[in-house]
Amino acid sequence: MNRYWNEYQKTIADDHYFYERSCIRQTFFPGSETAFLRILREELGKDIFDDFRQHTCTGIGYHADIVPFETTMTVCARLFSLMTEHGYKNYVPSCVTSFGVFTEVLHTWQEHPELLEKTRENLYKATGREFEIPENLVHPSDIIYKFREELAGKMKYRLVNSFTGKPLKVVEHIGCHYAKIFPDKGVGKAEFPYVLAGMIESWGGEVVDYPERRHCCGFGFRQYLIQENRGYSISNTKKKLESMEPYEPDFIVTNCPGCTLFLDRWQYTIAEMEHKTYDKDGYGIPVLTYEEMAGLLLGYNPWELGLQIHQVQADHLLDKIGIEYNINDKYKGVSGTIFRKPEKPTILQV
Amino acid sequence: MGSLLEKLKQDFRFDDALKACMNCGICTAICPAAEFYDYDPRKICDTVQRGDEDEIEQLMRSDTIWYCGQCLSCKTRCPRGNVPGLLISVLRTVSQELGYFAESRRGGQQRELMRGVGQNILDIGYCVHPDRVNPERHPEQGPVWEWYVKNIKELAPKFGANYNGAGPGALRKIDDETMKELREIFKVTGGEKFRDIVLK
């Protein structure tokens, strides 16, 4: 490996992980968390623990400035105490916001040891619990990145257009809090983020480099959470979509569940408001989580991954890759009930 | 109470947030909020750095500090290692503690956030949960969201989720003992008191 590039790597533990679920990913993309655990356990043979007693890290509340940092630190400490109790040392939060929050908490304790002691006191007083600091903190995508070549060997499909034989053009979006706050905690740091690009290249695709590649997805916490402020959110997403449009990407893959949500939903809203879609045929640009991308290539059922609950539908992308699927499963519930399809948007094709 | 600047400096995050600003404006150049709003993080750093008490107070009573989207793109780019987005967090915290937030329209939105996300955390242990994202109040979520929420009991298990069930899994009901500990943490660490101040 080039010695300069070596400086842009991070330590990613090999095995034995404690998994913390994400509020947004569970809410909007629950199949992605299921796919991640399946990939680790069944494809890679890893040990990863999912404790039922976990809870939010408060990240959205912290960045919306309604939860004091002292509270957030202690809530994070309780999550670390669950990890400690089960004998794990490698902490894996499923959300980029959480990853940023935990990184900030660990940084704070390193810079201010008295706050670590205060947090220990707070946690003990509130819950009687004690905790150890994780030896390794990584985002789940870091683990997929680390084992991307091993996974490539197990994949049924590649990121290649089955009709033309050409690599698919993929926009990757790593999310601001993955490497902008603490650049050395992300693969490739803030300047050469490679966590998703590495997966795309190893799995046969081509990364689209476009002017607003590093611009925020537009979440903005209070700028989305308050209805009145949502013009900020959609405007920033629109800026990215307009910037990537000339490159005709086949799909977008995201690191952070919030980014997945906004890049998906605002395409629908922009279509409704301005009769504008960002692909040639009016279907929009599909937005996948990295777990969905990996799961699809491994041959997992797209309708169990949850692609039908994205507003921009990915059926054309599946056809392009050559993925086999049963369309009758798409709107079927777990007991076999087939539901009426969702209402069609006015402009966006589905 | 000492000066407002002293109060800001009592927040341990202040040292990371503002070291020495040279007014280059790179933070403003990269800021998504500055593109959308009449907002300039450079000016905010300058106002706090100059230490004019009247101007700092005016800032904390205004809409201005509520425009930041907390993307923290400014952190990566500041050549002096300042973090304007973190300075905003400090200003917002103190603005709420002193009640200044309620004097601006944007600041007043903190009450809505506290009744929404803040209440979700204390009620169910999630910041966001499908039961709390009402399609009628979220038209931007599109017809797919409405369809999913309507049929969630049948669909969530298909995606491997344990919707409002006991035990582990996505969207599980968080057990009573865990919720009790979470609420106690808010009580012990000032989260509950802060909530009361904002909702007063």
Distance CA B39, CA B63 (A): 10
Put simply, the answer to whether A222 touches B113 (Cβ < 8 Å) is: yes
Of the residues B96, B97, B127, B199, the best mutation for testing chain A's interface (the one with the most A CB atoms within 10 Å of its CB) is B127
**Facing A265 at nearest CB: one of B109, B128, B140:** B140
In a domain, A350, yes or no: no
Question: Do A128 and A155 fall into the same domain?
Answer: no
Question: Do A83 and A158 fall into the same domain?
Answer: no
Instruction: Write out the DSSP string of B63-122.
Output: SGGG------HHHHH-TT---HHHHHHHHHHHHHHTTGGGGSHHHHHHHHHIIIIIHHHH
Question: Do A91 and A159 fall into the same domain?
Answer: no
Put simply, the answer to whether B158 touches A333 (Cβ < 8 Å) is: yes
Put simply, the answer to whether A27 touches B137 (Cβ < 8 Å) is: no
In a domain, A183, yes or no: yes
Cα separations in angstroms, A100 against A108, A178, A203: 12, 6, 27
Put simply, the answer to whether A309 touches B189 (Cβ < 8 Å) is: no
Question: Do A155 and A247 fall into the same domain?
Answer: yes
Other CB atoms within 10 Å distance of the CB of residue A206 = 16
Q: What is the CATH number for A78? A: 1.20.1050.140
pLDDT, position A194? 96
Residue B28, chain A, CB below 8 Å: the answer is: no
Domain B4-103 is in which class? Answer: mainly alpha
In a domain, A288, yes or no: yes
What residues of B are in contact with residue A34 (Cβ under 8 Å)? Answer: 159-161, 170
If phi > 0 it is left, if psi is from -120 to 50 it is alpha, else beta; for residue B72 that is: left
Closest chain A residue by Cα to residue B160: A34
pLDDT, position B2? 74
Of the residues A19, A20, A27, the best mutation for testing chain B's interface (the one with the most B CB atoms within 10 Å of its CB) is A27
Token look-up 């009402």 returns B134
pLDDT, position A214? 95
Residue A155 structural domain: 141-329
pLDDT, position B172? 98
Distance CA A139, CA A141 (A): 5
In a domain, A337, yes or no: no
pLDDT in tens, chain B (200 residues): 579 999 999 999 999 999 999 999 999 999 999 999 999 999 999 999 999 999 999 999 999 999 999 999 999 999 999 999 999 999 999 999 999 999 999 999 999 999 999 999 999 999 999 999 999 999 999 999 999 999 999 999 999 999 999 999 999 999 999 999 999 999 999 999 999 999 99
Of the residues A18, A19, A20, A26, the best mutation for testing chain B's interface (the one with the most B CB atoms within 10 Å of its CB) is A26
Residue A172's φ and ψ, nearest 5 degrees, are: -110, 140
Q: How far is B51 from chain A (nearest CA, A)?
A: 23
Question: Do A317 and A243 fall into the same domain?
Answer: yes
**Facing B76 at nearest CB: one of A27, A180, A265:** A180
Question: Do A41 and A85 fall into the same domain?
Answer: yes
Which chain A residues in 61-120 lie under 8 Å from chain B, judged by CB atoms?
61, 63-71, 73-75, 78, 100, 108, 111-112, 115
In a domain, A77, yes or no: yes
In a domain, A40, yes or no: yes
Put simply, the answer to whether A65 touches B109 (Cβ < 8 Å) is: no
Nearest of A216, A274, A268 to residue B138 by alpha carbon: A268
- CATH 1.10.1060.10 domain position(s) in chain B: 4-103
The count of CB pairs under 8 A between chains A and B is 257
In a domain, A1, yes or no: no
Closest chain B residue by Cα to residue A53: B178
pLDDT, position B1? 57
Question: Do A87 and A123 fall into the same domain?
Answer: yes
Question: Do A67 and A109 fall into the same domain?
Answer: yes
Which chain B residues in 110-169 lie under 8 Å from chain A, judged by CB atoms?
110, 112-114, 116-118, 121, 125-130, 133, 137, 140-148, 151, 154-161, 166-169
Helix pair angle (B105-113, B191-199), 10° resolution: 130
pLDDT, position A9? 87
Contacts 24+ apart (CB under 8 A), A241-245: A241/A266, A241/A267, A241/A270, A241/A278, A241/A285, A242/A278, A243/A210, A243/A211, A243/A212, A243/A213, A243/A215, A244/A171, A244/A208, A244/A210, A244/A212, A244/A278, A244/A285, A245/A278
pLDDT, position A8? 85
Residues of chain A with pLDDT under 70: 1
Residue A235, chain B, CB below 8 Å: the answer is: yes
Q: What is the CATH number for A231? A: 3.40.50.11810
What residues of B are in contact with residue A73 (Cβ under 8 Å)? Answer: 189
The domain total for chain A is 2
**Facing B32 at nearest CB: one of A108, A122, A215:** A215
Which chain A residues in 239-298 lie under 8 Å from chain B, judged by CB atoms?
239, 265-266, 268-269
pLDDT, position A1? 61
Distance CA B60, CA B101 (A): 7
**Facing B170 at nearest CB: one of A30, A60, A222:** A30
Question: Do A23 and A167 fall into the same domain?
Answer: no
Dmax (CA) of chain A = 63
Q: What angle do CA A279, B151, B116 make, to 5 degrees?
A: 85
Distance CA A228, CA A205 (A): 39
Question: Do A134 and A154 fall into the same domain?
Answer: no
Nearest of A282, A289, A254 to residue A268 by alpha carbon: A282
Question: Do A307 and A174 fall into the same domain?
Answer: yes
In a domain, A6, yes or no: no
Put simply, the answer to whether B127 touches A56 (Cβ < 8 Å) is: yes
